[in-house]
Structure 1
Amino acid sequence: MGVRGLGKRTATAVLAMALGVAVGAQGRAPLTASAAETAPPPLIPLAAQINPGQGTFTLSAGAVIAVPTGDAQARFAAAQLADQVRRVRGLDLMVREGRQGAAITLALQADAPVTQAEGYTLEVTPSGAHITARDEAGLYYGAMSLAQLLTPEAAPGADQGPVTIAAQEIRDWPRFPWRGMMLDVARHFQPLDSVKALIDQMAAHKLNRLHLHLTDDQGWRLEIKHYPELTKVGAWRTPPSVVSGQSTTPYGGFYTQDQIRDLVAYAAARHITIVPEIDMPGHAQAVMASYPKIGVTGARPAVAVDWGVNPYLFNVDEPSFTFIQTVLDEVMTLFPSTYIHVGGDEALKDEWKASPKVQARMRALGLKDENALQTWFIERVGQYLAAHGRRMIGWDEILEGGIPPTATIMSWRGIKGAVDAARMDHDVILSPAPTLYLDSLQSRRDDEPAGRLAIVTLADIYAYDAMPAELNAEQAHHVLGGQANVWTEYMMTPWHVTHAVYPRIDALAEGLWSPKDKRDWRGFLDRLPAQLARYRHLGVDAADSAFAVDFTVEGGANAALAAGTATVALSNQAGVGTIRYTTDGSTPTSASTRYEAPLHLTLPATLNAMVFSDAGQVLAAPRRYDLTAEALRTRQSGELQACPQGEMGLRIPLTPDATTKGPVFNVNLFDACWVYPKARLDGVTTLTVNAARLARNYGLAHDAVKVRSHPATTPNGELVVRMDGCDGPVAATVPLPSPAAAPQQFPLTARLPATTGQRDLCLMYTAPIQGPLYAIGSVSLRAAP
C-alpha cells in the first residue's frame, strides 16, 4: 500500500554460494535405506507429531474412502482428498457412506486423541488409513495431509498407479490460529477463478484466512447496492499514456454481490474465512471519484493511476459516517467474518489540516492533533462494528494517535506495532515488510519479473517467526498469528501472482502451522520437491528462483575478456539439487554431464544448465549463459548499480496495466541515474543503451521534493554519460527523442572517447521530472572491428 508500492526497503542479501561449490555434488549423499525409513514424510507443513509404525499400506485405483452416513462435511473432505489423488497420482478413488470395505475412513469423534482446535489424527496401518478429528476443519486438514502422503515425488514417468506409504501415526494441530494470505485486488483486479485457485492451495497448506484488499485509490472492487457509483465509476481507471496514440481503454473490474457470496461459500467449505478490507480514512480516491461529497474538499478527482500515497481522505462529518456505516452494513451481510479490516494506513493529514471545518470538528472533540482525530475516526468505526458483533482490524498506523480500544493491530512496518499493541492487551497479527511481502523479488536474477527490489527468498520466509521474542508469555497470547501480503501494483496478471506466491506459500505455511522446534530448513528442502511435482500436475506455475542456476565467472567478465577464457562456477540460491549442463547449445537432461567443479571454457562459449532432484524431477528450468565478447560487455538493468545519491527501489514493467509478460526495468524513482561499474574500455568506441520511456505514475506525497532533477540543454532532455563516477567528466551526450514521435523503447548510441582500463560509467537522464520516467533496459559496449 502506498509507500509499500515504492519499494523503499533495505534489500535482503541473497544467499551466497562460494565459488567452486557444486550444488548436489558434496555433503548430500543419497539416503540409505535406514535413513529413508526415518526421514519425515513429504508433508508441508510438517506435522506436530509423527510416530512410525510397522509395515506399509498400498492404495490402488478403485479403493473406497468411507465417511459417516449423512455427514456432508466429511464427504466434502473425502471428495477433496480423492480429487487431489486423481489429479496428481492418477488414481480414481470412490467416496461412499459406511465403513464396509473401506481403505480410508474419515470421521468426527468427540473423543478423538487430538484435543486442539483444527487438529487431527491420521493413522496409517497395513490395512488402511484412518482420519479422526473433533472438528470439521481438523478432519479436512487430515484429508489434505493424507493427500500429500499419497502423492510423493517419483521418478519422471513413474508417478502414476498404486502408491505405497509407510505405516505411521500422525497427530497434528496448528501453532497459530491466524494463518493468512492477503490478496490485493484493488490495484490489479484478479478474476474469480484465480482467487479460487489460490483458496484451493491455501486450504491444501492449512492456511485459514484470506484477507481481500477490496478498495484503494486505484479501484473499488465490491458492488454496494446503496452506492452504485462506487463500481460504475470507482472500479475503472484510465491508464497513463506515455506513447502518442496509446490506447486509453479503461482498466478495472469488480465483484458482484452474488459473486462474493459464491466466493465466501467456496472458501468456507475449505475452512478459509475471507476477511474484507475497506480502506479508510485514506487510500480513498476511488470513493471520492464516485461520491465527492464524502471527501474533505468536495472536489471530484479521477480514480487514481498513481501507485503510492495519494492525498484524498474521508471527511469527518456525519454524512461521511452515514456513508461508511451503510457500506459496512452491506459488507457485513456479504462477509460473515468476525473481523473486518478498515485499513487506516498512510493517511496523509494534509486535507484535514487545511480544512477549517475539520479543524473545528477536531477542537470540538477536544483532540490535540490529526493523529488523534484518526484514532477517534477509526474507533468510531470500530464501535459500529462491535455493535454488530464484529471486530475491527487496522494497520499499525492507527496506533499513532493512541490505540483505538476496539482494534486488533496488523503490523506491517516491522514488528514494533505488534509488540506495542500486545503489551497494551490488544490482539495482533504479524505481517512485516519486507519479509512477508510477496511482491518483493525472489532473487537478483535478470529473469525475475516486476516487483520490489528488496529480495525475499524462500529461506527468508522459512526463517521468519511470527512470535516476537520481546513479548512475555502473557503478552504472547495476544499474537493471533501472521500472514503474507500480495500487493499487486506490479502484478498485472494471475501468472505474476502465482509466480510470487508459490513456493513461498510452503515456507509460510510451515512457519505458521508447525511447532517451532520441529522446523528444519534442510528437512523442508528435502520435502519440497514432492510439492513442486504436485504443482506441475495441478498446473500451478511455481517460481523456481530458489533452485535456478546462477553463473559466477571467476574474476568477472572483464577478466574473461582479457584472457579469452573463463572459469565458471555453478550454484543456486537454496544449495540443493543436482546441476547438469551442456556446452553445445542443447537443453540439459537428467542424463547430461553433472556439475562437479568450476568449468574452464574457451571464449566464445555457451553454457546451459538445469537443476534436478534426486528422483530426477526438474527443480528449475534451463538457464543460459553466453560467454561471447558482446554478452560479456553488456549489463542488463538488474546488473547496473544505483548512483551514490540513492538506491534502485523497484523493478517495473513497460506499461502499468499490461496484461502480458514484458520487459522490466530497475529504477530509482528519485534519481534517473545508473552506474555501469568497472567498464572495460580497451578498444571500446561506442555505448548503446536500450532505453525506455515509462509512466511516472507514483504518488510520492511529501517525498516528491526528493526527486532529483539534472539540468537539460534540449527540450526533451538527454542521456549523459560520465567517466569515473557521476561527478566525473562528460564522455558523451545523446538527445532524447520527442515522446510524441518515438516508440516506447528505443536505442541510444553514444560515441566514447578512446581510453583504456576499467572505469565506472555513470548514465543519467536529464529529461524534465514532470514528464515520463526514463529507464535503462541494458547497456552494451562495442569495440571497433
Structure 2
Amino acid sequence: MRKIIFLFLTLISLKVSAQEINIIPQPAYQQTASGKKPFVIDSKTQIVVIDSTLAPTADFLSNYLQKYFNLKLNITKVTPNKNFIALISNTRISEFEDAYNLIASDRNITITGTSAAGVFYGIQSVIQLLPADLNNKLTVPSITIIDHPRFAYRGMHLDVSRHFFGVDFVKQYIDYLALHKMNYFHWHLTDDHGWRIEIKKYPKLTEIGAWRNGSIIGLWPGKGNENIKYQVLPNEIKITPKDAVIKTDGIRHGGFYTQEQIKEVVEYAAKRYITIIPEIEMPAHSIALLAAYPELGTEPDKKYTVAETWGMMNKYNNVLQVSDTTFKFLENVLTEVMNLFPSPYIHIGGDEASKVWWKQSAVSQQIMKAKGLKNESELQSYFIRRMEKFVNSKGKTIIGWNEILQGGLAPNAVVMSWQGEKGGIEAAKQNHKAIMTPENKFYFNHGQFVKEDSLTASTPSLLADVYNYEPIPAELSARQAEYIWGAQGCLWSEYITNPAKVQYQLFPRLDALSEILWSPKEKRNYPDFRKRLMTQFKRYDLMGITYSKRYLEN
C-alpha cells in the first residue's frame, strides 16, 4: 500500500514539475528528468565562460539575477566540480543557426550554442525556468532542451516620432525583446510629427523638426476638429472649411537622440544580439523635415510646420520633391545614419505617399517628362530606386513598406507587408525577401479587446488572432515561401504617451508573436499558451511591467 501511495505521489510530483515548465516561446524539444533534484542557484554558484565572446551573455545573466533576486554570481574561466552554469559555443551541436542545447542537473547547467546568439537564447530559457516570485529558492528543474528559431527575422517596431521615448526606456524595450528571443528592433526615427535623430550636417532637423507645438486631443480628428472635411479629388485635396485651423492641446512636445546616445543604444542592443534597423521616412511622412528645410518640398515657398494631427496622407502635403537637391540631402543624411548603425539593412519608409502633390507640382511633372516616367507611381519607384542605388553602394540593403511595389520594385529591396499579405506575397513571387506585419494582426497600437478602456487605434488585434496567424501565406509554393524572412509587430505611438501604455499595448501580444516566429508550427497550441502565460504574468509582476489584468479573469 505504501509503495502505491509513494508511486502516486511521485507521479503527482512529476506532473507538477512538468507544469512548471512554462517557457515562451515554446522550445522545439524539452524533457524533464524523472525524479531528479533541481539545480539550486545560490551565492556560491559560478558562471563559467571560457570563450570571451560569450562574456556579454554571462554579464546579462549575472545582472538579471542581481537586479531581480539580489544575487551576485562570480564569473570565471575555471570550471569547478559542481554548482556552476557553463556557457559553451560549439557549431557542431545542431544544423540550425542560433540553436542551443540546455542541460540542467542538480550539479550544473550547461548551455551550448551554435553561435553566441544561441547561447544568449539559452540564457533566456534559464531565466524563464526560474521561480517567478521572490518567495521561493532559486531552482531550475533537471531538464534537457534542444531548441532553435523557426524564422531568421523576428522583429518588433517602436514609433518614437508621434511620441518621444528617452534612451533609458528604449533600452528597457530592447530588454523586453531579448527576453522573448527577438532579434530585430525596427526604430521608427522620423515622421511628420518629429525628427528624432541628430544629423550634424543639418542641425535644423532637430532644432526645428524635433518639436511640435501641440497634439490633437483624443481620437482623430481630435476634439474640436469634427467639422473639418477632407475630399480627395484627382488633382487636389479639398479641405472644408478652407481656412480650418486644427485645434490641439497646445503643449509643446519633442526630443531627439544625439549621435552619442544612438551609439550607446546600438551597443546595448548588440550585447543582446538584437540588430537595430533605423527608419528614415521618404518620400512622404516628411513634414518634420520640410519644416526645417522647406526648399526640399513640392511647395518650397510654403511655411511647413511639424504636424500636430495624425493621418497626414491625402490631407496635407508631406512629400519631398524628386530632385537632385533632395537626393543629395538624403544621401548626406543616410551617410551619417549608416555610420551610426552597423545593421546591413536601412528602412526608408516609402509608404502613404499621396500622388496628388506631385501632380500639382510643375517641377515634378518636368522631372517625370525628362525621365520618361508615365505616372506618379513610376515617379515614386524612380525615387526609391535612386535611393536604393546609393544605399547599395554603401554595402547595405533597403527595406520599405509594401507601397514600394508601386511602379516597379527596386532590384534588391526587402518588402515589409503591412496592408494585409498581398505585398509580401507579391514580393516573394518576385524572389524578394518579405517581412509580414499585417495591420489587422500585428499593429499592437490597436486595442487588444473588443471594448478597450483607453485610447487605441481602430479595429482590435486580439491575442488569439495574433497567436493563430501563420506568416507564410498558403498560396505560396515551397520555393516562394523561402522568401518569407519572418514577421514583425508594430507599435505606433499616436495614442501612446508614456512607458506604462507601451507596456500595456505590448504585453502579452509580444509573447504570442515571439512564439509564432520562434517555435515549430506544429507545436502551436493556444490553450497551452494561455496556461503558460499565467507564469509569464508573474514574471511581469516581478519586473514591474504593466499589462491588462483582464487576462487573469479567465
TM-score normalised by the chain length of structure 1: 0.63
Deviation at 1:144, TM superposition (A): 1.2
On the 8 A contact 1:85/1:150 being kept in 2, the answer is no
**Deviation digits for residues 22-75 of structure 1 (CA, Å, limit 9, x no counterpart):** xxxxxxxxx954533544712111111113334122314213233234x44423
Deviation at 1:502, TM superposition (A): 1.2
Q: Which has the higher helix share?
A: 2
Partner of 1:255: 257
Partner of 1:168: 143
Taking a change above 3 Å as real, the CA distance of residues 392 and 246 of structure 1, as seen in their structure-2 partners, is closer
Deviation at 1:391, TM superposition (A): 0.3
> Within 2, Cα distance between the matches of 1:192 and 1:252?
14
Q: Which has the larger radius of gyration?
A: 1
Taking a change above 3 Å as real, the CA distance of residues 455 and 227 of structure 1, as seen in their structure-2 partners, is same
1:319 to 308, 325, 338: 325
More displaced stretch, 217-226 vs 141-150: 141-150
Structure 2 alignment gaps of length 5 or more: 1-10, 217-222, 225-246
Q: Does 1:384 align with 2:358?
A: no
On the 8 A contact 1:112/1:133 being kept in 2, the answer is no
On the 8 A contact 1:440/1:452 being kept in 2, the answer is yes
Q: Does 1:513 align with 2:493?
A: no
Q: Does 1:41 align with 2:21?
A: yes
Partner of 1:489: 494
On the 8 A contact 1:88/1:534 being kept in 2, the answer is no
Deviation at 1:108, TM superposition (A): 3.2
On the 8 A contact 1:239/1:249 being kept in 2, the answer is yes
Q: Does 1:84 align with 2:64?
A: yes
Partner of 1:56: 37
Partner of 2:539: 534
On the 8 A contact 1:223/1:255 being kept in 2, the answer is yes
Deviation at 1:504, TM superposition (A): 1.3
On the 8 A contact 2:215/2:248 being kept in 1, the answer is no
Deviation at 1:249, TM superposition (A): 4.2
SS at match of 2:411: coil
Structure 1 alignment gaps of length 5 or more: 1-30, 549-575, 577-785
Partner of 1:718: none
Deviation at 1:147, TM superposition (A): 1.4
2:456 to 434, 440, 451: 451
SS at match of 2:263: helix
Q: Which amino acid aligns with 1:543?
A: S
Taking a change above 3 Å as real, the CA distance of residues 412 and 453 of structure 1, as seen in their structure-2 partners, is same
Partner of 1:478: 483
> Within 1, Cα distance between the matches of 2:92 and 2:130?
23
Taking a change above 3 Å as real, the CA distance of residues 240 and 66 of structure 1, as seen in their structure-2 partners, is closer
Q: Which has the higher strand share?
A: 1
More displaced stretch, 52-61 vs 476-485: 52-61
> Within 1, Cα distance between the matches of 2:280 and 2:550?
34
1:410 to 388, 413, 416: 416
Q: Which amino acid aligns with 1:321?
A: F
Partner of 2:196: 221
> Within 2, Cα distance between the matches of 1:366 and 1:106?
63
Partner of 1:126: 106
On the 8 A contact 1:311/1:347 being kept in 2, the answer is no
**Deviation digits for residues 592-631 of structure 1 (CA, Å, limit 9, x no counterpart):** xxxxxxxxxxxxxxxxxxxxxxxxxxxxxxxxxxxxxxxx
Deviation at 1:91, TM superposition (A): 4.3
TM-score normalised by the chain length of structure 2: 0.88
On the 8 A contact 2:39/2:142 being kept in 1, the answer is no
Q: Does 1:68 align with 2:49?
A: yes
> Within 2, Cα distance between the matches of 1:62 and 1:496?
36
**Deviation digits for residues 567-598 of structure 1 (CA, Å, limit 9, x no counterpart):** xxxxxxxxx4xxxxxxxxxxxxxxxxxxxxxx
Q: Does 1:465 align with 2:467?
A: no
Q: Does 1:303 align with 2:306?
A: yes
> Within 2, Cα distance between the matches of 1:390 and 1:34?
52
> Within 1, Cα distance between the matches of 2:130 and 2:552?
25
> Within 2, Cα distance between the matches of 1:88 and 1:543?
22
Deviation at 1:165, TM superposition (A): 3.5
On the 8 A contact 2:500/2:546 being kept in 1, the answer is yes
SS at match of 2:502: helix
Deviation at 1:407, TM superposition (A): 1.1
Taking a change above 3 Å as real, the CA distance of residues 458 and 129 of structure 1, as seen in their structure-2 partners, is same
On the 8 A contact 2:84/2:107 being kept in 1, the answer is no
Following superposition, which runs of at least 4 residues in structure 1 exceed 6 angstroms of deviation? none
Q: Which amino acid aligns with 1:107?
A: L
On the 8 A contact 1:73/1:136 being kept in 2, the answer is yes
Q: Which amino acid aligns with 1:76?
A: P
1:293 to 292, 295, 298: 295
Partner of 2:548: 543
Partner of 1:336: 342
**Deviation digits for residues 230-279 of structure 1 (CA, Å, limit 9, x no counterpart):** 00000001115879x99734211100100000000000110011100111
SS at match of 2:497: coil
SS at match of 2:142: strand
Identity %: 38
Superposed, which structure 2 residues align to 1:548-559 within 5 Å? Answer: 548=553
Superposed, which structure 2 residues align to 1:586-625 within 5 Å? Answer: none
1:212 to 184, 187, 195: 187
